[in-house]
Copies of this chain bind each other. A is one copy, B any other.
């Protein structure tokens, strides 16, 4: 080895152990488990981001994304960052400084959209609902009458609350008011019915690590004709270069103009995960997510626990269950992780300490995971540990 002659501590090479992660049963808000086929795809030999074989894979990925999004949108591509990068690509690219923007907030991620829209100098107004509830089309119509907006943003599947937001009527209201609609589908794409063209949604983004069934690191985005028109009518460049959809589309379009080095291995994983969605069939996959969620909901009710979201608005991919009185939030989650290798999520924001968040997404959405979690929870709740 290389003997160190200097005494400068930063010149001493750290001797750290190799990675030795314990397998987890991931039933939190994401990342979720990925199928071994997806893990294997990540290990395919690396190649260049302009290699003809990689360009062919990009074409296939776009085709599969259109299927998953139920859209014909030309502009359907993965952003090279996590779901929040997809959110910012949509917000930064579609909102110009001074644009009046309406953001619907009924959870943590609606709040994040508003924060981003302000940073990109939109004139942001918000309407709010308690965390766990959803918006009606009338509320959006009223808000747009009070102050017209050019862009409206809403979350389809609020990962922080477990509420599923109906979108079709709202899209109509938004279009009647001459605005475009940005939709956060991070926790719905690939697991919960989402009809980009059928519901006439303009800009939709998601992440790979939830119902899509791939590791985190990419953010699928799709943009319809109204979004494209707004993008090409911009009078000012997008604030951000990395997340500027108007230049990203030239790398993903027929020009193949170099933009940045795509995360090749993650793109392999996404391609294989999308192939598995196509193999299973979207409708079958949606039914599977709903069936396993219903198993969970019934089982939690048998344990005497109650769900935070009212029936009819529950997200099959993410369930918020109220922490029973007198139960120690952190202690239960620690025991689940330590004794059973199970991860579930704690509450976020106003729901911190009040709910647990249980994800059944992608490859994690399986009956064996539901039974395991219910069994472990039953035992832990009946046999509290000595403090």
Contact B10 A72 (CB under 8 A): yes
Interchain CA distance A289-B238 in the complex, whole Å:
39
The reply to whether the CB of A326 lies closer than 8 angstroms to some CB of chain B is: no
The reply to whether the CB of A46 lies closer than 8 angstroms to some CB of chain B is: yes
The reply to whether the CB of A383 lies closer than 8 angstroms to some CB of chain B is: no
Contact B262 A216 (CB under 8 A): yes
- Chain B residues whose CB sits within 8 angstroms of the CB of A48 once the complex forms: 24, 26, 28, 31, 343, 345
**Assuming A15-B278, A242-B85, A281-B2, is B260 touching A217 (CB within 8 A)?**
no
The reply to whether the CB of A81 lies closer than 8 angstroms to some CB of chain B is: yes
Among listed A163-171, A267-275, A294-302, A308-316, interface-contacting one: A267-275
Contact B19 A33 (CB under 8 A): no
- Chain B residues whose CB sits within 8 angstroms of the CB of A83 once the complex forms: 260-261
Q: Which residue of B lies closest to A43 (CB)?
A: B39
Contact A279 B63 (CB under 8 A): no
- Chain B residues whose CB sits within 8 angstroms of the CB of A49 once the complex forms: 31, 216
- Residue interface mask A267-293, B partner, CB < 8 A = 1: 011011001001111111000000000
- Residue interface mask A28-43, B partner, CB < 8 A = 1: 1011111000011111
- Residue interface mask A81-119, B partner, CB < 8 A = 1: 111110110001000000000000000000010011001
Size class of the A contact interface (CB-based, 8 Å): 35 or more
Copies in the complex: 2
- Residue interface mask A1-41, B partner, CB < 8 A = 1: 11000000111111110111111101010111110000111
Contact B261 A19 (CB under 8 A): no
Chain B CB count within 10 A is highest, among A45, A57, A119, A259, for A45
- Chain B residues whose CB sits within 8 angstroms of the CB of A81 once the complex forms: 80-81, 85, 242
Interchain CA distance A14-B69 in the complex, whole Å:
13
Interchain CA distance A269-B43 in the complex, whole Å:
11
Contact A46 B261 (CB under 8 A): no
Interchain CA distance A70-B39 in the complex, whole Å:
34
Interchain CA distance A348-B257 in the complex, whole Å:
11
- Chain B residues whose CB sits within 8 angstroms of the CB of A53 once the complex forms: 21-22
The reply to whether the CB of A71 lies closer than 8 angstroms to some CB of chain B is: yes
The reply to whether the CB of A209 lies closer than 8 angstroms to some CB of chain B is: yes
The reply to whether the CB of A243 lies closer than 8 angstroms to some CB of chain B is: yes
Known: A48-B345, A119-B238. 7 other contacts (CB 8 A): A10-B66, A19-B271, A80-B85, A82-B261, A116-B241, A215-B266, A217-B263
Could you list which residues of chain A lie within 8 angstroms of chain B, going by C-beta atoms?
1-2, 9-16, 18-24, 26, 28, 30-34, 39-49, 51-53, 57, 60, 63-64, 66-67, 70-72, 80-85, 87-88, 92, 112, 115-116, 119-120, 197, 207, 209, 215-217, 237-243, 258-266, 268-269, 271-272, 275, 278-284, 337, 343, 345, 348
The 10 A-B pairs at the shortest CB distance, nearest first, are namely: A217-B263, A2-B281, A13-B278, A23-B45, A84-B260, A215-B265, A239-B239, A216-B261, A88-B242, A21-B44
